[in-house]
Chain A
Amino acid sequence: MSDDPTPADDTRADGEDARVRYDQARYVEDGQYEPLLSEKDLTRVEVGEESPLPDDLTREDLELPELSEPELARHYTRLSQMTYGIDSGPYPLGSCTMKYNPKFTEDVAALPTAAVHPDRSPGTIQGTLELLYRLQDYLGRIGGMDAVTLQPPAGAAGEFVGIRVAAAYHEHNGEAHRDEVIIPESAHGTNFATAALGGYDVVSLPSDEDGRVDLEALEAALSENTAALMLTNPNTLGLFERDIEEIAELVHDVGGLLYYDGANLNALLGRARPGDMGFDVMHYNVHKTFATPHGGGGPGAGPVGVVEELAPFLPAPRVREVGGSDDADGERGEPTYELFDPDHTIGKVHGYQGNWLVLVKTFAYIARLGDVGLADASAMAVLNANYLASQIDYEIPYGPFHHEFVASAGEQDAAEVAKRMLDYGVHPPTTKWPEIVPEALMTEPTEVESKATLDRLAAAFDAVATEDADTLEAAPGRTTARRIDQTSAARNPRLSWQALEDD
């Protein structure tokens, strides 16, 4: 494109060509990227005249694009080409666990037998219920938990179940006065938002100088008002909370519950289980740990596991097995499955039973890998993180870490580093979080990247590390769009094509 600005220089300061780049497909026509559907066509249909309903119950008209299937096929193909996914290249977003998603799981989720209405009677959807039951069982074993609900449609929804279960449990025990949830400063933002949504006061817990829970601060924070401590282990610095036994004891001593945020479970499969560490309730981010595609921001699923004491409070309904009846020869028949409401259930957190198709993919992934594959996934995720860390120049202030590490961009602005990394054809890490590391570059390569890819990533890190502020500020130069002005988007919000017409 003649009007394209010259791409930024791609040579390193030492003169060596980094050679880690690729250009994304992009479309520019009349100075604009792929036009909106509304710019291709808008057709107004008079509704009142067409409708079998009386005029006073209908809208006057409806105005939307009316395009042919081939036009739409091209539109969405171009939009896909202007989108970077894990199938496009490495995606080392710390805490997000962007790993490769096997394709066969899409096929099993698309089986016609998986497409059932949620109000079908249990007797007619024994397959669906069996799969849910078996997944509950798998997740219970993996987490060391006694009972599992699959209803929460995302990790944060799982956290909400954890908080509501904790509240119901305390209330049941006559301890409704517990109104505080303790959360380490380095925790995911969802923890804080979830505790607040549950009506709790958040008590923020500082980290010690090693980046882990400060036991003295924890003791000071705990009281008879403590409902729960929410903890990620390994934490968001990738560090294992080695004092977990003592932490659990302290929390339990004051009558609080220990909540496990499963975002980082990919580091522990087959090597440690939240239930064995003293956690009472946990959520699993099945879209992270068990590789179901993130779909541009969802859907995911956030099943919740609990110890036996908390099982009666789980959302309704759950699935259970009813032993197969004996036939005439005394042989056990196929087991059947039924839905039931736990005795003291908190009710529902989703209109139906959560994100079923994601659960099908999760089941298939776990069934494919089994014990050996799951344990190996964690081993390679941890090896990859440690290897990548050993190959980059940026300082990594805390360790030893597991599946992710947080480097510091030092004098550079981490957000600018990220923009420049795009020019090297790789997705950048999570930036500026957790805040305890200045200019944080939170990096999680996952187990699916090869040594060669990690070497490419390291080359990109190191190339950017040597670049000056002007170069970073000019980036990115080879992406679909150049640097986007996020401030003006917020200052002058235009959130629909209708709003653009008003400009």
Chain B
Amino acid sequence: MQGTQSTGSPFAPHTAAQRDAMLEAVGVETVEDLFDIPEPVRFDDEFGIDARTERETRRLVRSILERNDDLTELLGRGHYGYYVPSLVDHLADRSEFLTSYTQYQPEVSQGFLQALFEYQSLLVELTGLEVANCSMYDAATALGEAATLADRVRSVDGHRVLVPDLLRDGRSSTLENYVAGTDLVVEAYPSDDGTVDWEALAELVDDETVMIYAENPTVRGTIEERLPDIGDLAADVGALFVLGSDPVALSVLERPADVGADVVVGDASVLGLGTSYGMGLGLFATREEHLRQVPGRLVGVSEDATDRRAYTLTLQTREQHIRRERATSNICTNQAWVALRTAMHAAMLGPSGLVELANRGVTRATDLAGRLDDLPGVTAPVHDRHHLREFVARLERPAGAVARDLEASGFAVHVVGDHEIQVCTAGTTDDELDAFVASLEEVGR
């Protein structure tokens, strides 16, 4: 019956004879007899959705998505279009990985469990923290979970969560939703030339502060210079220091454990996923002392009945399916397959490849900023800081108008102020950057 629609779902394999045999075995005349739905709430209408062949469906989706403009994206601010090696697509798409469920039967899930264990290990090396879970949804939800963790593990009276004023809306708004059911109150602290205004922050921190959040690099692509001091501020009042970052940045930037970070969150999908309209992979790592308060799934090592090393989900009594309303989080379905892809991409790069990718992000951002600065009507970078991947440029013309003109010539950039755009080099080629510089020269003044 494959390929035709009149008989129903193309993925239900029953022949008419088999249906009849099954109905007889069950003891009913028709399938409808099996639906125990009271008449008043039965749906006798139609959705009005036409069935299509596979070929027609592919054509439909392709024709819809072809309405997307083909632009060179110089976009970042937390979501990066790094090239993903073919190995990742081909091996992650192996159907055993793609079509398996959560590893509740570890004896038949050893491969995926080991891959997730290796992903956790990658994050342990990158952060220097002892515990990493095997995924939250994205950076924003991981930040929300960090705040509820702080609420659980900090015994101070206060409820203040301090975040940078530059925090992007998706993260701050998600954080607000996560803390809405708690007593936590989110407050923004000021920034100074694109990084933390440490003096202002020090003024704000008090013994009612349960969490200080900072990002490295910041949403503007600048590198934080006072992380150890922020760590000290947090430690002095017993607050959790939560640091936002990502696996590429962590390959070269100061190790979170060394600057006093208690929790690292961020988007790990910068490796392995490419641009995907914002799909993510929430990174979450913390110190061993918070192990039993960690949200999400953890893969641990054990032994099987032959004393061989084996992997299993562990400490599940923290999780919703066991602990219900006393769980550390409500997360169930997570981003496991993206974690697999991230681990594969990182393994493909290896330590030298990761470091090279991150260093290239520094040099290319610096170089491009220098080239833009040479253009009439453009000043870059706006912040007198070190940058990774991206930077802010100031324009004489209104930024919105410049961005529209750039779009018309095939480039997408962020508008971050009346006269400011943000430009990201991640995932771009040198030729694309050359063409961009030429375009901005045209429209920038």
Contact = CB atoms under 8 A, between A and B. Distances in A.
A86 B305 CA distance: 26
Interface residues of B, number: 194
B330 interface: yes
A390 B111 contact: no
Contacts of B159: none
A44 B350 CA distance: 10
Contacts of B75: 117, 119-120
Interface in B218-256: 223, 225, 250-255
Contact of A373 (B8, B101, B118): B8
B106 A484 contact: yes
B58 A104 contact: yes
Given A64-B350, A348-B169, A356-B279, A298 B51 contact: no
Interface stretch (A95-103, A321-329, A464-472): A95-103
A377 to B, nearest CB: 4
Contact of B111 (A81, A107, A110): A81
A354 B37 contact: no
B114 A34 contact: yes
B193 interface: no
Nearest to A103: B95
Interface stretch (A12-20, A240-248, A304-312): A240-248
A489 B301 contact: yes
Instruction: Tell which of A268, A382, A493 has the most Cβ of chain B within 10 Å.
Output: A493
Interface string A118-159: 111101111110110010001001101000000001111101
Given A116-B275, A119-B75, A157-B141, A33 B386 contact: no
B332 A154 contact: yes
Given A120-B412, A486-B312, 5 more contacts: A62-B125, A188-B332, A194-B330, A299-B137, A350-B280
B324 A193 contact: yes
B163 to A, nearest CB: 14
- Sort A-B residue pairs by CB-CB distance and give the 5 closest, nearest first: A352-B278, A376-B8, A199-B181, A295-B337, A370-B51
A52 B320 contact: no
Interface string A285-317: 101000101111111101000000000000010
A242 B10 contact: no
Given A364-B61, A370-B5, A66 B352 contact: yes
Interface stretch (A215-223, A252-260, A406-414, A443-451): A443-451
Contacts of B130: 495-496, 498-499
Nearest to A78: B111
A339 interface: no
B123 to A, nearest CB: 8
B9 A369 contact: yes
Nearest to B135: A298
A454 to B, nearest CB: 8
A47 B356 CA distance: 9
B366 A52 contact: yes
Contacts of A418: 105
B298 A495 contact: yes
A169 interface: no
